[in-house]
Amino acid sequence: MSTKNVSRSIWRKVQKMPSVEGVFGINKPTGLSSAQVLRDCQKVFHDSKLFAPHLRDMKAQLLRDNHNQRQRRKVKDPKVKIGHGGTLDPLATGILIAGIGTGTKSLQDFLLCTKTYEAVVLFGTGTDSYDRLGKVLTHAPTEHITKEMVEKALDQFRGKFMQLPPLFSALKMNGKPLYEYARENKPIPRDIERRPVEVEELEMLEWMEPGTHNHKPPTDEAGHAEINLAKLVWKQESILPPKSPESEKVAKENFEDKKRKMSENQDELVQERPKSKRKTDAVKTESDPDAEPVMSGGLPEPVASTEVAAKVPDATVESVEAAPESPKSLGPPAARIRMTVTSGFYVRSLCHDLGVAVGSAALMAELERTRQGQFSVGNDNVLEYDDLSKGEEVWAPKLESMIKAWENKTEATKAEAGAEAKSEAPVKEEVSGDAVKMEDAQAKFTEAAEQLAEEVKSEGESPSKVFEAAA
């Protein structure tokens, strides 16, 4: 800790000022960027009584520093220094680590820690951003996708592998974020490099059949320029590791089975309708031997609905009522998955790649970061974003308690590290002293042995016999 920070810490203790510098978590809502959440915190903190002494202290320090400079400048009112330990997409919710003042120096540690996410994967549609906020690039069939197929495909994403980040990401190329190339429809200077990632835990929490959930695919279709740009980056054939012969065989069997079922469904849609003697007849009898096949759902001649219901045979009515709704009309299936991953992992990429792995497409419909380091949703060290709008009497005691807990843990960690270093020091000195004593003893023994050998040799006796006799 620098001299400036030490003096500020001592001053706070003398004045009995509450400490507001440290690290805490905030539960980010959907629809807001990480930067916007921090700006909201900064504004609320700046206008509060809790941070007033801290801001006065900061301004006094700025005035002292300005007084010692040759060219003095006008000192502006300081703002609360705040940063985050890992961004979250606007779509995502959950843990956002925030650091205040000297706490920002500890944020780097949270970029390297493991994180736990829960995501909803929606199959059948692929977008340029790999989530439901992007523009649609592709539509793919989903009738063949089953819960067992998805669970088996998840095996490909456990452990260590190389992941291709999405085009819409915060990664930079030649100093420019990738998403800016995408928004400006400009080609990227070079291929996006894969990054080593690790998935420590991955499981399916819930399987949602078509029609059992409210997740809908986006409808905003991408233009030609966006599709052409995506083709340069989005190469599905190279996203996943090579498939095994067994998985290729299963995929082929699923495709053939799907074709057979589609053919059977089309045959079932053909029904026989009796031929009419007059073109104005709206309903024909089923016993007409000259009946012609007609596609179910075809529009009949305009007649009253009650008349049609009265004249249609009972069997036909039953078949229409019993006809199951097609999977396509029910919407795509979805799955809720939970994963614990290392730094630099993109959940959107996993959702996209999972769709490719099951012979379809997929996007991320929901995302929640439930844990980052020692901060978890619902814990005492995580502030709810909604508390900021409930007044200082609500959020201030909670934040003060969180900062105090962070300080206590930091001091305990430093004390433990100091105790370990202190306990190791005497051991090293003792070991070093024993080594010196051993070397001295060996040197004296060697010197005595050489002297004895010379004496024995001068007397004409064999040194080996003398040592044997001594033994």
**Cα angle for residues 235, 236, 242 (degrees, 5° grid):** 115
What average pLDDT does range 191-210 have in this prediction? 93
Same domain, 235 and 136: yes
Q: What percentage of residues in the chain have a pLDDT greater than 70?
A: 61
Percent of the chain scored above 90 by pLDDT? 45
Determine which helix (DSSP H) or strand (DSSP E) holds 44, and give its type and residue range.
Answer: helix 34-46
DSSP 8-state assignment for residue 77 = P
Beta carbons within 8 Å of 38's beta carbon, 6+ residues apart:
82, 83, 84, 98
Give me the pLDDT at residue 66, please: 67
pLDDT at 360: 96
299: pLDDT confidence band, cut at 50, 70 and 90?
very low
- The CATH code of the domain that includes 249 is 3.30.2350.10
Structure tokens that stand for 86 in this block: 């890992």
CB atoms near residue 361 (< 10 Å): 25
Residue 314 belongs to what H/E stretch? Answer: helix 314-322
pLDDT confidence of residue 167: 72
Round to whole Å and give the CA distance between 253 and 404. 61
Distance CA 436, CA 185 (A): 72
Q: What is the 3-state secondary structure (H, E, C) of 392-435?
A: HHHHHHHHHHHHHHHHHHHHHHHHHHHHHHHHHHHHHHHHHHHH
Lowest-confidence region among 151-155, 164-168, 353-357: 164-168
How far is it, in rounded angstroms, from Cα 102 to Cα 81? 9
Task: Identify whether residues 126 and 104 lie together within a single domain.
Answer: no
The answer on 398 and 297 residing in a single domain is: no
Instruction: Compute the average pLDDT of residues 287-314.
Output: 34
* Higher local confidence (pLDDT), 309 or 48: 48
Quick check: is 442 in a domain?
no
Do residues 239 and 166 both lie within one domain? yes
Answer yes or no: is 416 within a domain.
Answer: no
Same domain, 340 and 288: no
pLDDT value at 173 more than 80 = no
Q: Which tens digit of pLDDT belongs to each residue from 118-143?
A: 999 999 999 988 999 999 999 999 99
Q: Note whether residue 459 is domain-resident.
A: no
Q: How far is CA 200 from CA 69, 89, 349, in A?
A: 52, 22, 16
pLDDT tens for each residue of 414-451:
887 777 777 665 555 554 555 556 666 666 666 665 66
**Contact call for residues 175 and 181 (beta carbons, < 8 A):** no
Within a domain: residue 425? Answer: no
pLDDT at 325 over 60: no
Instruction: Please give the pLDDT value at position 419.
Output: 74
CA distance 269 to 286: 16
Predicted confidence (pLDDT) at residue 327 exceeds the cutoff of 70: no
Split into its structural domains, the chain has a count of 3
Domain membership flag for residue 231: yes
- 236 pLDDT exceeds 70? no
What b/e readout covers 402-428, taking b as 16+ CB neighbours within 10 angstroms?
bbeebbeeeeeeeeeeeeeeeeeeeee
| pLDDT at residue 177 in the model | 74
Single-letter amino acid, residue 134: G
Residues 189, 241 share a domain: yes
Q: Are residues 338 and 313 in the same domain?
A: no
Do the domain assignments include residue 347? yes
Tell me the per-residue pLDDT of 76-96, one tens digit each, with 9 for 90 and over: 778 999 999 999 989 999 999
Confidence (pLDDT) at 411: 86
Q: Is the pLDDT of residue 302 over 70?
A: no
Q: Is residue 179 part of a domain?
A: yes
Lowest model confidence (mean pLDDT) among 88-92, 153-157, 337-341, 358-362:
88-92
Q: How confident is the model at residue 290 (pLDDT cuts 50, 70, 90)?
A: very low
Shared-domain flag, residues 317 and 350: no
Q: Does residue 269 contact residue 279 with C-beta atoms inside 8 Å? A: no
Q: Residue 289: pLDDT above 50?
A: no
* Per-residue pLDDT tens over the stretch 2-45: 555 544 554 444 344 567 899 999 999 999 999 999 999 999 99
Residues 229 and 274 in one domain: no
131 plus 182 within the same structural domain: yes
Question: Is residue 368 packed enough to be buried (19+ CB in 10 Å), middle (13-18) or exposed (0-12)?
Answer: buried
Bigger pLDDT: 199 vs 461: 199
**232 pLDDT exceeds 60?**
yes
195 against 333, higher pLDDT: 333
The answer to whether residue 454 is domain-embedded is no
Q: Which of 13-27, 307-321, 377-391 is the most confident on average?
A: 377-391
Residues with catalytic roles: 89
Please check whether residues 231 and 148 belong to one and the same domain. yes
Q: Is 393 exposed, middle or buried (0-12, 13-18, 19+ CB in 10 A)?
A: exposed
15 dihedral zone (left: phi>0; alpha: psi -120 to 50; beta): alpha
| pLDDT on residue 337 | 99
Instruction: Report the mean per-residue pLDDT for the chain.
Output: 75
pLDDT of residue 460: 56
Cα 344 to Cα 111, 116, 197, 349: the distances in Å are: 8, 13, 7, 11
Candidate ranges 340-344, 453-457, 460-464; pick with highest mean pLDDT: 340-344
Give the domain range for residue 49.
3-112+373-404
Task: Categorize the per-residue pLDDT at 180 as very low, low, confident or very high, splitting at 50, 70 and 90.
Answer: confident
Both 39 and 67 in one domain: the answer is: yes
Q: 200: helix, coil or strand? A: strand
Tokens standing for residue 210: 């078509």
